A and B are shown apart, each in its own frame.
Chain A
Amino acid sequence: MLKMFVVGVGVLAIATTAAAADISGAGATFPAPVYAKWAEAYKAQTGVGLNYQAIGSGGGIKQIKAKTVDFGASDKPLKPDELAAAGLYQFPTVVGGVVPVMNLPGIAPGQIKLSGQLLGDIFLGKITRWNAPEIAALNKGVNLPATPITVVHRSDGSGTSFLFTSYLAMKNSDWASKVGASDSVQWPTGLGGKGNDGVAAFVKQTVGAIGYVEYAYAKQNHSTYALMQNKAGKFVAPAAPAFAAAAGSANWLRSPGNYILLLDQPSPAAWPITGATFILVYRNQDNPDAGAQVLKFFEWGYNKGDGLAASLDYVPLPANVKTLLKKQWAHSVTAGGKPVYVAK
């Protein structure tokens, strides 16, 4: 019996009937579906397999530093000094938004208006009922119930939390001083749900709850979302054009190391809690072929992947930003002084 085991394992181990993936990457959970979609189509077209696994932005950063993968992915961009210290180069791929969702029977999606300051106060626990005067001030004419507010946040560290807390820290000085911004913070109040799924489930199960999720979850679950007031003072709904507007009005040219947060961008149509997700590769490639393959894949994603990304509720980067990034590759990712790949 034991012999059978060992022989069987040996045979399976040697079996190499199918090709293994050619490049590997790991990191953020947010873009995993779109990278999987791109990888599937890319393999069908070119035969090259790109295996991406979502182990978290922190995991992505750790693994690229440990050189166990060909590229890392992170929702939180690394600052230029961190990049320089590790010898990495980062570039964004797609854009998405974080949406506040709530459970208020009788209130339709998009009926409630919120501002960053107000959202911060709610998550600080300063506002405890839905019919509080601060909320009523922004929502004249809406019949707000007296239900107590239950805050739901993420229990696990995540780029979504990073975006959300960064936004709150920008708009609410109390939040900035008491809590701060990170992918994992000490939440002053509320329940922790695991993953976007957990937050969505808790919100759904608790009347009066408010939480935050990635746009894809809000859309797929038909959640009750709020309109947010952006920098231009307008109240916008979360949707692909609003995220694209935020990405388009950002100042990419003046962002050294491509470190950019798309929060609270000036365009009147922009959704204030938008963020891009980033790829990390080494500036100096030990294996130029692998580096070239990574860049080729993302070039394909830029040129041909827009439709696929949109079908999964992701927003592609604006065309001019893509051109700029492709030009960057020639001098940012090199091996022995020569560019690893020159994009078209």
Chain B
Amino acid sequence: MTRAAYRRAFNGVFVVLCSIATFIALSALVMILWTLLSKGLGGIDGMIFTHDQPAPGSPGGLRNAIVGSLIMCALGMAIALVIGILAGTWLAEYGAGTRYGHVVRFFNDVLISAPSILIGLFVYELLVAPFHGFSGYAGGVALAFLATPIVVRTTEDILTLQPSALREAGMALGASRAFVIRKIIWKSARTGLLTAGLLGFARISGETAPLLFTSLGNQFFNAKLTQPMASLPTTIFQFALSAYDDWQRLAWVGALLIAVAVLFINIVGRVLARETHRS
């Protein structure tokens, strides 16, 4: 076989392997979605968004859990995005190559692997025990702990790969570094930063363990961050492992809602960022 033909054949094998990998990933998705849909779709009715979670045998919905999750995820993501993007920017721009930068990057990676339940315990010691009460604030902070390292890591990776020509052009035109970073680099890295945020959100939207010891959960509707607050993952956790059919049905509906929410935010985010994405 000629060398060219060999290379082409090798490439052909490679294409097949990549396609198989994609196929495997998509089939896993399809199988899991199938389970979610078949068990969750049947349970969706008008009451899901208008009624709070019921006791077994009573009619109800998931309103308090949905609202609670939205509030706490919003709080968590707000904190995570602020701290995460700033810290990631520092790592990529100011601290790149410094020893301190190495240390921060390393410990950030360690934090990514922190089991969520331990983060929940830490926030419990910090924000629940001293104040003698569970609260939505504690839940939001615990979620922020989980999302921030992912945002930091991804932000740093994306910003580092922005072409230095952009920075040099900005500086050459007389802009300060902060201006260059904020108005040029961040802008050009917009989809990457969006991915960072989406990955962080995907991580925290389904987390149960850290919320158990911080926001506790609430059978009733509560939008006050100073009180225990319901959330979809904790409600799913409680309902899915129960013996009652109606509770289990609601659990699957909740799981489906989370997956749909992540998908929705994913699509919306990409559409919004499409204008500035450079091919």
Enumerate chain A interface residues (CB-CB to B < 8 A). Answer: 2, 5-6, 8-9, 12-13, 15-21, 24, 26, 32-33, 36-41, 43, 49-55, 59, 66-69, 194-198, 214, 216-217, 219-221, 311-313
Contact = CB atoms under 8 A, between A and B. Distances in A.
A194 B241 CA distance: 9
A49 B132 contact: no
B224 A16 contact: yes
Contacts of B228: 21, 24, 51, 53
Given A196-B243, A220-B243, A9 B74 contact: yes
Contacts of B240: 197
Interface stretch (B13-21, B52-60, B94-102, B149-157): B52-60
B246 to A, nearest CB: 11
A336 B197 CA distance: 54
B216 interface: yes
A197 B55 CA distance: 19
Nearest to A13: B225
Interface residues of B, number: 41
Contacts of A221: 243
Contacts of A214: 243
Contacts of A55: 212-213, 216
Interface in B238-266: 238, 240-245, 247
9 contacts: A2-B78, A9-B74, A12-B225, A20-B220, A21-B220, A21-B222, A24-B216, A50-B219, A216-B244
A246 to B, nearest CB: 21
Given A49-B219, A221-B243, A312-B244, 7 more contacts: A5-B81, A12-B70, A20-B222, A55-B212, A214-B243, A220-B244, A313-B243
Contacts of B238: 32, 53-54
B129 interface: yes
Interface string B120-152: 000000001100111000000000000000000
Interface of B: 54-58, 70-71, 74-75, 77-78, 81-82, 128-129, 132-134, 212-213, 216-225, 227-228, 234, 238, 240-245, 247
A99 to B, nearest CB: 12
- Among B56, B70, B129, B221, the one with the most A-chain Cβ atoms within 10 Å of its Cβ is B56
Contacts of A53: 216-219, 228, 234, 238
A41 B54 CA distance: 10
B243 A49 contact: no
Contact of B219 (A16, A36, A68): A36
B245 A68 contact: no
Contact of A68 (B74, B78, B129): B129
A40 B55 contact: yes
B55 A33 contact: yes
B241 A68 contact: no
Contact of A16 (B55, B58, B218, B223): B223
B57 A312 contact: yes
Contacts of B234: 53
A239 B3 CA distance: 78
Nearest to B53: A36
B220 A49 contact: yes
Given A39-B219, A40-B54, A51-B220, A66 B129 contact: yes
A23 to B, nearest CB: 11
Contacts of B245: 220
B89 to A, nearest CB: 14
Nearest to A21: B220
A68 B234 CA distance: 19
B221 to A, nearest CB: 5
A196 B247 CA distance: 15
A50 B55 CA distance: 12
B74 A5 contact: yes
A26 B77 contact: no
A52 B219 contact: yes
A20 B78 contact: no
Nearest to B140: A9
Contacts of A220: 243-245
- Among A16, A43, A55, A194, the one with the most B-chain Cβ atoms within 10 Å of its Cβ is A55
B134 A24 contact: yes
A312 B247 CA distance: 12
B74 A21 contact: no
B71 to A, nearest CB: 5
Contacts of B247: 33
Nearest to A24: B228
